[in-house]
Amino acid sequence: MSQATATLPASAPERINLLDLDRAGLERFFADIGEKPFRAKQVMQWIHQRGVTDFAQMTDLSKTLRARLAECATVDLPEVSVDQRSKDGTRKWLLHMDGVENAVECVLIPEDKRMTLCISSQVGCSLNCSFCSTAKQGFNRNLSTAEIIGQLYLAHHALLADEREGGITNVVMMGMGEPLLNYDAVMRALNIMCDDFAYGLSKRRVTISTAGVVPAIRRLHEDTDVSLAVSLHAPDDELRSQLVPLNRKYPIAELLDACRQYVSEHNRRRITFEYVMLKGVNDSLDHARRLVKLLRGIPSKLNLIPFNPYPHALYECSDQATIDRFRDFVVGKGIVTVTRKTRGDDIDAACGQLVGKVKDRSRRSQKHQISIQKLTGQTPHATR
């Protein structure tokens, strides 16, 4: 899919995908084709709330408008390639975005009182964090708004079809990719998620996770107040730069300054800091002490994430006793801290395990395969 624009030139041969447009974009679209802007609300309800993608079935629109929409617009969804269910109830979809070359994964995490969907924002990821399986697949491109919101559409209506009243209740932008490097498309998708004529999600139930793209965090502060999660993973620049190479561009001091700004006007809002537990790397009590000092004065919650292994990973997960000691120390210093429960690891749906299918423009996946072959004593295949 190509990234759609909000206007439709009269001579444009391509039909516009209405999933690419938030309410403001739809209002401009209808104005451009000579219709009243309130049609945007009607069409949003048909598509997002009722799950109707055939304009002919949108019966409160005139027949003339329905025919016009059939000529100039479409509702194109990602194609479901694989639908897997874990023994713990987690569900993962592999979604093709442009034929067979590129696919992303999104994950449904069911709990007693909520249904959380983990959504991807890019095909692959450009950041190359050293502990993440997704990073080893390389990077191809950003997803369009339609491809992002299409993940929510499919999961939400799958739940309704299974008679799970209410559908998706929470969204976390923690799937494949760095959301803040696809800023405009992600923002339009967030607008749709929170729109009362679409999914009506509270901004407190929508979370963007970032590895620390500081300029975009500052911009986000001006544009929205959805929940923010920051992948921290280390209490000092030297270690964090090894784990999260983006830190070389935006070191911890700059990142935390942007975090303070983000919560400055929202007194009850906390930043969630994510911290993957890597055996012998970042899990000592000294690391915990320095982390507490680092986060002092920032309204925060700490998520400790047991490392989820994948083939040829460079790290191991900290043992449970070490994780518990780390957690108890930080909690004792007044920081709300939880250890994230691993979900869906039997279908590779846990944090850091999403891989999808990436036609890698960065050639990182090829380099990774060569390094694996060398480590295992295999002869590397010839490369182009």
- Residues 103-156: tens digit of each pLDDT: 899 999 998 889 999 999 999 888 989 888 777 778 888 999 999 999 999 999
Which among 75, 15, 16, 79 has a CA at the least distance from the CA of 48? 75
Q: How far is CA 60 from CA 133, 197, 204, in A?
A: 47, 15, 33
- Of 27, 35, 105, 178, which residue is the catalytic one? 105
Looking at residue 3, what is its pLDDT? 43
Task: Say whether 125 is catalytic.
Answer: no
The answer to whether 318 touches 354, Cβ cutoff 8 Å, is: no
The answer, yes or no, to whether residue 164 has pLDDT greater than 90, is no
Higher-pLDDT residue of 383, 164:
164
- Residues 329-352: tens digit of each pLDDT: 999 999 999 998 876 566 565 554
- Of 118, 132, 194, 351, which residue is the catalytic one? 351
Measured distance CA(22)–CA(28) in Å, rounded = 10
- Residues 3-38: tens digit of each pLDDT: 444 454 444 558 999 999 999 999 999 999 999 999
Measured distance CA(179)–CA(271) in Å, rounded = 16
Measured distance CA(42)–CA(86) in Å, rounded = 37
Strands 16-17 and 115-118: unpaired
- Quickly state the pLDDT bin for 370 (edges 50, 70, 90): very low
Question: What does the DSSP assignment read for 313-369?
Answer: -S--BPPHHHHHHHHHHHHHTT-EEEEPPP-SGGGT-STT----B---SS-HHHHHH
Looking at residue 266, what is its pLDDT? 63
Task: Supply the mean pLDDT for the chain.
Answer: 87
Strands 103-110 and 115-118: antiparallel
Looking at residue 359, what is its pLDDT? 55
Return the residue matching tokens 């395990």: 353
Q: Classify the phi-psi angles of 77: left when phi > 0, otherwise alpha if psi is within -120 to 50, otherwise beta.
A: beta
- Residues 171-196: tens digit of each pLDDT: 999 999 999 999 999 999 999 999 99
- What end-to-end distance do the CA atoms of the chain give, in Å? 28
Lowest-pLDDT range, 16-20, 242-246, 284-288, 305-309? 305-309
Measured distance CA(174)–CA(194) in Å, rounded = 17
3-state helix, strand, coil in the chain (%, to 5): 40, 20, 45
* Residue range(s) of every CATH 3.20.20.70 domain in the chain: 79-368
What is the three-state SS of 86-108?
A: CCCCCEEEEEECCCCCCEEEEEE
Q: Is the pTM of this model over 0.85?
A: yes
Looking at residue 166, what is its pLDDT? 81
Lowest-pLDDT range, 148-162, 231-245, 320-334, 354-368? 354-368
* Residue range(s) of every CATH 1.10.150.530 domain in the chain: 16-74
Question: How deeply is 271 buried, as exposed, middle or buried, from its count of CB atoms within 10 A (0-12, 13-18, 19+)?
Answer: buried
- In sequence order, the β-bridge partners of residue 275 are 304
Measured distance CA(253)–CA(244) in Å, rounded = 15
Looking at residue 171, what is its pLDDT? 98
- Residues 196-245: tens digit of each pLDDT: 999 999 999 999 999 999 999 999 989 998 999 999 999 999 999 999 99
- Residues 371-384: tens digit of each pLDDT: 334 433 444 443 32
Backbone angles phi, psi at 64, to 5 degrees: -65, -45
Strands 170-173 and 206-210: parallel
Average pLDDT over residues 90-97: 90
The answer, yes or no, to whether residue 86 has pLDDT greater than 70, is yes
Contacts 24+ apart (CB under 8 A), 23-26: 23/191, 23/192, 23/195, 23/197, 23/198, 24/191, 25/188
Give Cβ neighbours of residue 359 (< 8 Å, ≥ 6 apart).
101, 102, 123, 140
Looking at residue 379, what is its pLDDT? 45
Tell which CATH classification among 3.30.830.10, 3.30.70.270, 3.20.20.70, 3.40.50.300 matches the domain 79-368.
3.20.20.70
The answer to whether 188 touches 145, Cβ cutoff 8 Å, is: yes
Domain 16-74 sits in CATH 1.10.150.530: yes
Which among 304, 294, 307 has a CA at the least distance from the CA of 333? 294
Looking at residue 45, what is its pLDDT? 98
Higher-pLDDT residue of 362, 224:
224
Higher-pLDDT residue of 341, 48:
48
The answer, yes or no, to whether residue 283 has pLDDT greater than 80, is yes
Average pLDDT over residues 353-370: 49
Task: Say whether 351 is catalytic.
Answer: yes
Measured distance CA(73)–CA(79) in Å, rounded = 19
Measured distance CA(211)–CA(177) in Å, rounded = 10
Neighbours of 286 (CB within 10 A): 9
